[in-house]
Amino acid sequence: MKHPRKAVLAAGVLAVFCLAAAADVLVVKIQSTQIRAQAQFFAPVVAGLKAGDALTQIGVSGAWIQVRTAAGLSGWIHQSAVEVPRYALAAAAGGTRTQATASEAALAGKGFNKQVEENFRTGHAEADYASVDRMLQNKMLWSQLKEFLDQGKLGGGR
């Protein structure tokens, strides 16, 4: 054989491509979320997730995706909370899924970030960030929202 190293490399690459095709990788793109026991909001929470967490897609039902976490827990997540990692294909070609997650994590802090906001704030005293922070601290609890929907005879994504 003329190129044994190439053969090993190709076999590895092809195997990884096959694995990547068989098991779709997704990452959480929002600050925090949960996977749930059924494909609906207000269903029992199976696990909490944070931005950058990698998931394996195992099924789809409408706007909901059935996923498995790195810890092996499975449940449902709304499609608006996840995305196909931008580096997935490139990292799969490089050999590991871990690289995809690492690259995504590096990317997460890139662009307009806290450092850029802080630099902007130094020259813009007219911008009221204290009120923004107070506004964002008020988190709507799922239980509050469910009670509100029930009391108002509303459906709301259920």
Partner 1 sequence: MNARSRAARALLLAVLLAAGAACSLIDQGTEILGKAEDAVAKGDKAVKAYGKLRSAFGDFTEEEEYYIGRSVAALILGRYPALNDAALNLYVNKVGNAVALSSERPEIFAGWHFQALDTDEVNAMAAPGGMIFITKGLLKRCPDEESLALILAHEVGHVAARHGLQSIRKANVTETFTSIGLEAIKTYGPEQLARVTAAFEGVLGDIVGTLVERGYDRKLEYEADESAVLFGCRTGYDPAGLARFLKTMVGDMSAVSGKGWFKTHPAPEQRIDRVQAEIDRLQPVPAPAAVRTQRFKSAVSAVR
Interacting residue ranges for partner 1, rule: CB under 8 A? 1-3, 6-7, 9-10, 13-14, 17, 29-31, 33, 41, 51, 63, 78, 80-81, 83, 86-87, 89-94, 103, 106-117, 119-120, 124, 126-129, 131-132, 134-136, 138-140, 144-145, 148-149, 151-157
Closest contact distance (angstroms) between CB of 123 and partner 1 is: 8
Nearer to partner 1, 58 or 107 (CB): 107
Given a contact cutoff of 8 angstroms between Cβ atoms, the answer to whether 105 and 52 are in contact is yes
Sheet of 82-83, strand order: 45-50, 32-36, 74-78, 64-69, 54-61, 24-28, 82-83
Q: Which is nearer to partner 1, 70 or 158 (CB)?
A: 158
Nearest approach in angstroms of CB 56 to partner 1 is 19
Is 70 or 127 the residue whose CB approaches partner 1 more closely?
Answer: 127
Strand 24-28 and strand 32-36: pairing?
Answer: unpaired
Token pair, residue 86, equals: 């931008």
How far apart are the C-alpha atoms of 23 and 14, rounded to whole Å?
A: 14
Give the residue from 10, 27, 107, 104 showing the smallest Cα distance to 67: 27
Min dist. Cβ of residue 70 to partner 1 (A): 20
Closest approach, Cβ 50 to partner 1, in A, equals: 12
